[in-house]
Structure 1
Amino acid sequence: MVNVIGLGYIGLPTALMLATHGVEVVGTDYNKELVSQLNAGEITFEEEGLYDLFVNAISKGIKFSTEYISTMVYIVAVPTPYDKNSKKIDACYVIQAVKNVMEVCPKGAIVIIESTVSPGTIDKFVRPIVEANGFVIGEDIHLVHAPERIIPGNMVYELKHNSRTIGSDSKAIGERVKELYSSFCEGEIVVTDIRTAEMTKVVENTFRDINIAYANELAKICHSDNMDVYEIIRIANKHPRVNILSPGPGVGGHCISVDPWFLVGDYPGLANIILAARKINDSMPEYVLERIHDIMKEKGIKDVSRVGLYGLTYKEDVDDVRESPTLQMLRCMERHLASGVKVYDPWVKKDIVENQYHDFDEFLNNVDIVVILVAHSEIKEKMYKLKGKIILDTRNICDLEGRYRL
Structure 2
Amino acid sequence: MVNVIGLGYIGLPTALMMASHGVEVIGTDYNKELVDTLNAGKTTFKEDGLDELFQNAVKAGIKFTTEYQNTDVYIVSVPTPYDKFSKKVDACYVVEAVKDVMKVCHKGATVVIESTVSPGTIDKFVRPVIEENGFTIGQDINLVHAPERIIPGNMVYELLHNNRTIGADDKAIGEKIKELYSSFCQGEIVVTDIRTAEMTKVVENTFRAVNIAFANELAKICRHDDMDVYEIIKICNMHPRVNILQPGPGVGGHCISVDPWFLVGDYPSLAKVIDESMKTNDGMPDFVLNRIYEIMKENKITDISKVGLYGLTYKENVDDMRESPTLQMLESMERHLCGDLVKVYDPFITKDIVPNQYHDLDKFINDVELVVLLVGHDEIKQNMDKLKGKVILDTRKICDLDGVYRL
What TM-score comes out, normalization by structure 2 length?
0.99
Which letter does structure 2 place at the counterpart of 1:349?
Answer: T
Compute the displacement of 1:129 (Å).
0.3
2:387 matches 1:391: no
Alpha-carbon distance in 1 for matches of 2:203, 2:181: 22
Alpha-carbon distance in 2 for matches of 1:323, 1:86: 18
Alpha-carbon distance in 2 for matches of 1:52, 1:398: 33
2:383 matches 1:382: yes
Which letter does structure 1 place at the counterpart of 2:263?
Answer: L
Q: Match of 2:316, SS?
A: coil
Report Cα offsets for 1:300-331 as digits up to 9, x if no partner: 11110000000000000000000000000001
Which letter does structure 1 place at the counterpart of 2:233?
Answer: I
Which letter does structure 1 place at the counterpart of 2:253?
Answer: G
Alpha-carbon distance in 2 for matches of 1:199, 1:75: 19
Q: Match of 1:254, SS?
A: coil
Q: Tell me which residue corresponds to 2:3.
A: 3
Q: Tell me which residue corresponds to 1:363.
A: 364
Report Cα offsets for 1:48-107 as digits up to 9, x if no partner: 000000000000000000000000100000000000011001111000000000000000
Write the mapping of 1:118-157 to structure 2, written as runs, cut at 5 A.
118-157=118-157
Write the mapping of 1:157-168 to structure 2, written as runs, cut at 5 A.
157-168=157-168
Write the mapping of 1:38-187 to structure 2, written as runs, cut at 5 A.
38-187=38-187
Alpha-carbon distance in 1 for matches of 2:21, 2:382: 37
Q: Match of 2:26, SS?
A: strand
Report Cα offsets for 1:14-38 as digits up to 9, x if no partner: 0000000100000000000000000
Compute the displacement of 1:334 (Å).
1.0
Q: Tell me which residue corresponds to 1:290.
A: 290
Compute the displacement of 1:337 (Å).
1.8
Which letter does structure 1 place at the counterpart of 2:403?
Answer: G
Which letter does structure 1 place at the counterpart of 2:177?
Answer: V
Q: Tell me which residue corresponds to 1:251.
A: 251
Alpha-carbon distance in 2 for matches of 1:244, 1:130: 44
Alpha-carbon distance in 1 for matches of 2:156, 2:400: 32
Alpha-carbon distance in 2 for matches of 1:51, 1:97: 27
Alpha-carbon distance in 1 for matches of 2:335, 2:76: 36
Alpha-carbon distance in 2 for matches of 1:349, 1:45: 12
Report Cα offsets for 1:108-156 as digits up to 9, x if no partner: 0000000000000000000000000000000000000000000000000
Alpha-carbon distance in 1 for matches of 2:308, 2:229: 24
Q: Match of 1:392, SS?
A: strand
Q: Tell me which residue corresponds to 2:192.
A: 192
Which letter does structure 1 place at the counterpart of 2:383?
Answer: K
2:260 matches 1:260: yes
Q: Tell me which residue corresponds to 1:205.
A: 205
Alpha-carbon distance in 2 for matches of 1:166, 1:319: 29
Which letter does structure 2 place at the counterpart of 1:337?
Answer: L
Alpha-carbon distance in 1 for matches of 2:106, 2:336: 55
Compute the displacement of 1:335 (Å).
1.4
Report the RMSD for the aligned CA atoms in angstroms. Answer: 0.4
Alpha-carbon distance in 2 for matches of 1:221, 1:268: 27
Which letter does structure 2 place at the counterpart of 1:73?
Answer: V
Which letter does structure 2 place at the counterpart of 1:285?
Answer: P
What TM-score comes out, normalization by structure 1 length?
1.00
Q: Tell me which residue corresponds to 1:373.
A: 374
Q: Extract unaligned runs of 5+ from structure 1.
A: none
Q: Match of 2:253, SS?
A: coil
Which letter does structure 2 place at the counterpart of 1:144?
Answer: V
Alpha-carbon distance in 2 for matches of 1:104, 1:46: 33
Alpha-carbon distance in 1 for matches of 2:92, 2:352: 29
Q: Match of 1:249, SS?
A: coil
Alpha-carbon distance in 1 for matches of 2:179, 2:398: 43
Alpha-carbon distance in 1 for matches of 2:174, 2:336: 52
Alpha-carbon distance in 2 for matches of 1:353, 1:314: 15
Alpha-carbon distance in 2 for matches of 1:267, 1:305: 44
Report Cα offsets for 1:262-314 as digits up to 9, x if no partner: 00000011000000100000000000000000011111111100000000000
